[in-house]
Amino acid sequence: MADKKADLAGPGIGDYTELEHVLPADYSSLLSPKDTQRAIFEVKNYIEDNLCKELNLMMVTVPLIVDEQSGVNDYLDRDGSRTPIQFHISNDRDKHPINAQVVQAATKWKRMALKQFNMLPGEGLCTDMRAVRKDYFLDHDHSAYVDQWDWERVITGEQRNLNFLKGIVSKIWKVMVGAERYAQEMFPQLKDPRYPNLPENLTFLHAEEILDMYPDLPRKQRETAILQKYPAVFIIGIGWTLKDGYPHEMRAADYDDWVTETRSDAGHVCHGLNGDILVWNPITRRRHELSSMGIRVNPQSLKKQLELTNQMDFLNFPYHKAIVNHEIPLSVGGGIGQSRTLMLLLRKAHLGEVSVTVWPQVLKDMCEKKNIHVLN
């Protein structure tokens, strides 16, 4: 059980000695640096265009910084371990100052934006989001710099159910599979028998079901095990405390709904209207998360989740008041990691091959020895 608790501490491997054993020793990029840049923007445009088409979204601008008092920044979890970068804007000799934060994700802002742009049920928005998460351990697939397609769509009360969520997830998966084909049409060298393509369909599993299959394994090991059976899965119910006393993974209490009771295909009682898309990465030979999404909290589930996490004081923030007072729409939304997705589709061993950010020298040296050339 101690291992299970440690597994919730945060993303990333957490140790560079371990990472040295994890990084592939037989790696060679299938694309040159120049072709990699061409492929990045071609695939990026394909995904944006088709994501908007499949989900009826429009591209909108998104903030990099937000007012601390707004309550719209994303805290990523509920234990306070991942805090945003904060700074003071003195403005007019401190007569009209602002305490600002760099966003960690646009999760809450997007829902407020649905009202700002007067989106109707069935309509939504997509953003080319940039963020900074300073508390991540920097390894091969975690970076302090985060880029996502953060999207949000208005729904009705009747659509707050698991079947509707699965339909949305399946449309997103269709875009991912299509993007892989598109990349390989442009760059045939990406068709490599060592790296199987994504399956046509996702496998949907509840976190409760996966725990029943592997009751003694910590979360990351459970995910690794299930991906040996199903190379692409959507794990439902991220955040609900399972019968071993731990959630599958920590999830903030004020955006996704992880408390609502649902049913598995076998008819068992489960929980949650959210989930993560995970795939098996044949290059790194590890689990690889692509997206986190869910039906958002309504007034009832927000209050219940804040009560369970001892965060009822959040109800004083404008964002949370807007949910309770029915001032912003019901919605479904999520984030799709851009560099994570490009890393997978372009058959790269490291995020630093598709995005420019900061890495410690120990990691850059380690990558060079393994023929992994991160961008500077």
The residue from 143, 292, 301, 339 that is catalytic is 292
pLDDT value of position 163:
97
The residue from 48, 74, 249, 257 that is catalytic is 74
Q: What is the pLDDT of residues 260-311, one digit of tens each?
A: 999 999 999 999 999 999 999 999 999 999 999 999 999 999 999 999 999 9
pLDDT value of position 289:
95
pLDDT value of position 79:
66
Which residue in 175, 189, 108, 211 sits closest to 338, CA to CA? 175
Phi, psi of 75 (to 5 degrees): -95, 0
Q: Give the predicted TM-score (pTM) of the model.
A: 0.93
Verify whether residue 133 is a known catalytic residue: yes
Verify whether residue 276 is a known catalytic residue: yes
Each as own residue / partner, the long-range contacts of residues 80-87 (CB below 8 Å, 24 or more positions apart, any chain) are 81/9, 81/10, 81/135, 82/10, 82/133, 82/135, 82/136, 83/134, 83/135, 84/132, 84/134, 85/132, 85/134
| Tokens found for residue 263 | 């049913």
pLDDT value of position 72:
82
Phi, psi of 196 (to 5 degrees): -60, 150
Which residue in 262, 21, 35, 282 sits closest to 163, CA to CA? 262
Give the angle 205-256-241 at the CA atoms, nearest 5°: 60
Cα distance between residue 90 and residue 96, in whole Å: 7
The residue from 141, 289, 301, 339 that is catalytic is 289
Cα distance between residue 38 and residue 218, in whole Å: 39
The residue from 101, 104, 148, 355 that is catalytic is 148
| Tokens found for residue 126 | 């997509």
pLDDT value of position 241:
95
- Cβ contacts of 195 within 8 Å, gap of 6 or more: 282, 283, 347
Report helix, strand and coil shares of the chain as percent, to nearest 5. 40, 20, 40
The residue from 78, 82, 111, 133 that is catalytic is 133
Verify whether residue 184 is a known catalytic residue: no
3-state secondary structure of 59: strand
Q: What is the pLDDT of residues 72-108, one digit of tens each?
A: 888 776 667 788 999 999 999 999 999 999 999 888 8
Amino acid letter, residue 287? R
| Tokens found for residue 70 | 């707004």
Are 129 and 62 spatial neighbours (Cβ–Cβ below 8 Å)?
yes
Taking 70 as the pLDDT cut, the residues of the chain under it are: 1-13, 77-79
The residue from 249, 257, 276, 353 that is catalytic is 276
Verify whether residue 292 is a known catalytic residue: yes
| 151: number of Cβ within 10 Å | 28
